[in-house]
Amino acid sequence: MSRPVSLLLLLSLLAIVPASLTRAQEAGLYEHFDVYDGDNFPRTEYANRRKQTLEKLKSGEGMLLRSAEVRNRSNDVDYEFRQRNNLLYLTGVTETQSALLLLPDGVEIDGKRIQEVLFVAERNPTHEIWEGIRMGPEVAAQVTGITTVLPYDKLAKRLEDLFPTLNKLYYDSWTIESIVDPVVEGEFNWPAIVRSILEESELDLEIEDAGTILNGMRAIKSEREIAMMQKAIDISAEGHREAMRMAKPGMFEYEFEASMEYAFRRLGAEDPGYPSIIGSGPNTCILHYNTNRRKSLDGELVLMDCGAEYHGYSADITRTFPVNGKFTPEQRAIYNLVLEAQTEAIKECKVGVQFWDPHKKAGQIISSGLVKLGIMKEGDDVRKYFMHGTSHFLGMDVHDVGDDYTLQPGMVLTVEPGIYIPEGSKCDPKWWNIGVRIEDDVLVTKSGSVNLSAGLERTADEIERLVGSKRK
């Protein structure tokens, strides 16, 4: 049966053919790729994850995970490359033009039945002059421990031969791959296009999100993953300390950001896990503010929501402090109320508790506290001043995979209640432009919750002692 033209086009898009390759001497290249960092996961950890995944796949099913693409920033300048998490989770591979194919029934390659096949781009000495050395198939087999590694430009042909033998393909998802074009008044959604072409082809192939299988695995962190996250958290905590130590009125938000992210890089983090949020004065009341250009004024608060990413795992910490080192009575009252809500919510992070229970606890405390302070009336909706959830899961993504789970040992989630009173709120103006959020990263264990970022100062008195300490 002939293949539909659209399917052939899709397969060609999935495997961009690189320039002709030269087989360079491989000796010593394995050592070069030990910059996959000495403290990264051992190959056995990735192998165990792939084994678990294969055990969850049924006969006649397969899973295909593809790398991210290099994205253009402007003209001939690209954004820094960041690997897709599911491929990184199962292989540790950080290169573009790579893919992993998992098949419980296996596929015939060189007379052997193979369940896992890695595809990577072949080496190209010309490209390497400009972009750095790539692994190539031979070194990739040594680095990853996956014995069957094929050139990436063979992926399309392999898939064309394989698809008719499958009844279901678990395919990696993309959360944001849509382009809305106003000229043609249409939305181009790459994942939807891929699924549509595959499902409407003559293959009778069902497509399902790979997260159906992988999300549950990723939600429960191994001991090594927790150690990796602790490293990211410790780096982040030092960044927060450094920014608060140098604080003084008149500093620009970008100066705090520079101090924070300098510490991240100095201590080995590859990147911030997300754009740093540094808001002063009225900007403390903007939840995801990240312009970071305003000049802070004496008597104002500064809210810093920043986390480092270390080897693919992100921290997420928020601290709020008075830029002059001294809370006003109103600022301290709001700060202590948020701290009380956070402390009690952290206690709720225990095995068997529903994901939303910590949020409910924080909301109850903030609601009654705001009534006592006269900021809102009994029965008013607390979401006027506390409009976001208290928690999200944390891991390879700052908003990591996870749903309304019952909390289990090994889950890591943030606990981040906040109160935001923008100018013009229906309360005494003395409360206006006070925005406070306190956020820590909490591990659920069999014996209760563990605040992984507890080493970073949290109480109002601790914060006051820290702010500006480098100048004193």
The per-residue pLDDT for 180 is 79
Which has the minimum average pLDDT: 11-15, 18-22, 70-74, 134-138? 18-22
Identify the band that residue 423 occupies on the pLDDT scale cut at 50, 70 and 90. very high
Query: Which active-site residues does the annotation give?
Result: 76, 288, 305, 316, 388, 392, 399, 416, 420, 437, 439
- Structural contact between residues 240 and 422, judged by C-beta atoms closer than 8 angstroms: no
Q: What is the CATH topology of the domain spanning 5-216?
A: Creatine Amidinohydrolase; Chain A, domain 1 (3.40.350)
Give CA 292 to chain center in angstroms.
21
What is the arrangement of strands in the sheet containing 412-415, beginning at the earlier edge strand? 412-415, 440-445, 448-451
Say yes or no to pLDDT of 141 above 60: yes
Give CA 391 to chain center in angstroms.
14
- Structural contact between residues 304 and 437, judged by C-beta atoms closer than 8 angstroms: no
Question: What are the sequence ranges of the domains in the chain?
Answer: 5-216, 220-466
The per-residue pLDDT for 6 is 54
Rounded CA separation 343/267 (Å): 29
Phi-psi category of residue 444: left, alpha or beta, with phi > 0 → left and psi -120 to 50 → alpha: beta
Q: How far is CA 415 from CA 34, 44, 80, 394, in A?
A: 36, 32, 30, 10
Rounded CA separation 404/413 (Å): 12
Q: Which two tokens stand for residue 103?
A: 């098949």
Q: What is the CATH topology of the domain spanning 220-466?
A: Creatine Amidinohydrolase (3.90.230)
Q: Which two tokens stand for residue 42?
A: 């051992």
- State what percent of residues in the chain have pLDDT above 90: 77
The pLDDT tens digits of the residues spanning 147-174 come to 999 999 999 999 988 989 999 999 987 6
List all residues 6 or more positions away from 266 whose beta carbon is below 8 Å from its beta carbon: none
- Structural contact between residues 257 and 289, judged by C-beta atoms closer than 8 angstroms: no
- Structural contact between residues 254 and 275, judged by C-beta atoms closer than 8 angstroms: no
The pLDDT tens digits of the residues spanning 320-367 come to 999 999 999 999 999 999 999 999 999 999 999 999 999 999 999 999
Rounded CA separation 27/120 (Å): 18
Say if residue 307 is exposed, middle or buried (CB neighbours under 10 Å; 0-12, 13-18, 19+). buried
Identify the band that residue 69 occupies on the pLDDT scale cut at 50, 70 and 90. confident
Rounded CA separation 420/438 (Å): 12
Find residue 415's DSSP bridge partners.
440
Identify the band that residue 294 occupies on the pLDDT scale cut at 50, 70 and 90. very high
The per-residue pLDDT for 33 is 57
Rounded CA separation 386/294 (Å): 24
Residue 226: its H or E element: helix 223-245
The per-residue pLDDT for 203 is 75
Say yes or no to pLDDT of 50 above 90: yes
Q: Average of pLDDT values for 48-74?
A: 95
Rounded CA separation 261/355 (Å): 31
Rounded CA separation 50/62 (Å): 12
Rg (CA), the chain: 25
Say yes or no to pLDDT of 196 above 80: no
Identify the band that residue 204 occupies on the pLDDT scale cut at 50, 70 and 90. confident
Is 291 strand, coil or helix?
Answer: coil
Closest C-alpha among 216, 292, 301 to residue 258? 292
Identify the band that residue 177 occupies on the pLDDT scale cut at 50, 70 and 90. low
The per-residue pLDDT for 187 is 79
Q: Which two tokens stand for residue 45?
A: 């950890």
Identify the band that residue 282 occupies on the pLDDT scale cut at 50, 70 and 90. very high
- Structural contact between residues 307 and 395, judged by C-beta atoms closer than 8 angstroms: no
Quickly list DSSP for 372-428.
HTTSS-TT--GGGT--S-S--B-SSSSS-S--SPBP-TT-EEEE--EEEE-TT-SS-
List all residues 6 or more positions away from 363 whose beta carbon is below 8 Å from its beta carbon: 341, 382, 386, 390, 417
Q: Kindly report the pTM of this predicted structure.
A: 0.91
**Most confident option among 16-20, 153-157, 225-229, 400-404:** 225-229
The pLDDT tens digits of the residues spanning 91-123 come to 999 999 999 999 999 999 988 999 999 999 999
- In single-letter form, the type of residue at position 385 comes to Y
Give CA 262 to chain center in angstroms.
20
Identify the band that residue 291 occupies on the pLDDT scale cut at 50, 70 and 90. very high
